[in-house]
Amino acid sequence: MEDYLSGNYISREVKQVINDFGDEIEFEIIRYKNRYSLTVNICQNKPPFLDCIGFGEDPRRRKSAIRKALKELYLQAYGI
């Protein structure tokens, strides 16, 4: 977190997608010189509201960081 706050990151992007359950998933993807760091959360506009967040990091692969974060998020949100 300290790297992000100090501005020591290479790139940052935010994306939103709709998953198979109809929920909007928001991805924050941060690329540091030595790793990818991801935060994903569910953004629902109607009840029942979910308050779930997943984190993932990988030293080399963005896709691996995404997978780790989604696995954590889906386990919290849907039990899968």
DSSP class of residue 65 equals: H
Q: Confidence band (pLDDT; 50, 70, 90) for 76?
A: very high
How far is 57 from 53, CA to CA, in rounded Å?
14
Task: Give per-residue pLDDT as tens, 5-49.
Answer: 566 889 999 999 999 988 899 999 999 999 999 999 997 777 777
Q: Considering only CA atoms, which of 20, 18, 29, 14 is closest in space to residue 62?
A: 29
- Which amino acid belongs to residue 3? D
Burial tier of 48 (Cβ tally within 10 Å: 0-12, 13-18, 19+): exposed
